[in-house]
Amino acid sequence: QLQASGGGSVQAGGSLRLSCAASGRTGGNYHMGWFRQAPGKEREFVAAITWSGITTAYADSVKGRFTISRANARNTVSLQMNSLKPEDTAVYYCAAAVRGITRQAGNYDYWGQGTQVTVSS
């Protein structure tokens, strides 16, 4: 299971830190990703990190503002979001992939329930 937390409401320019706790089968050697879905839009890739934590990937829209990290000893993955913009408003989902780091939602095997992030101007 994946449990996402840390969402909330913040003004533009502010920061939030999302966390995703993995348990059970998803507590193993999985590559992790964050996606988001705004109302009326498709789910989009935000960031991903390999199991080792060595390799990361970011969507161009968040590069330089968001940082993905993981603590395998605690089976957690975090997404530090700085300089938030109103267009970052969405439900954020964490996901786990077996095959490798990927930007494609269809390649992820497990999904968390989502946490709402709202950024006001």
Q: What is the pLDDT of residues 12-59, one digit of tens each?
A: 999 999 999 988 765 567 899 999 999 999 999 999 999 889 999 999
Residue closest to 3 by CA, chosen among 21, 30, 29: 21
Q: Taking the mean position of all CA atoms in its chain, how far away is CA 61?
A: 14
pLDDT at 24: 72
Give me the mean pLDDT over the 69-84 stretch. 91
The Cα 39–Cα 4 span in angstroms is 19
pLDDT tens digit sequence for 79-113:
999 999 999 999 999 999 988 888 999 999 999 99
Amino acid identity of 54?
I
Q: Which residues of 77-107 are buried (b: 16+ CB within 10 A; e: fewer)?
A: bbbbbeebeeebbbbbbbbbbeeebbeebee
Residue 74 has pLDDT above 80, yes or no: no
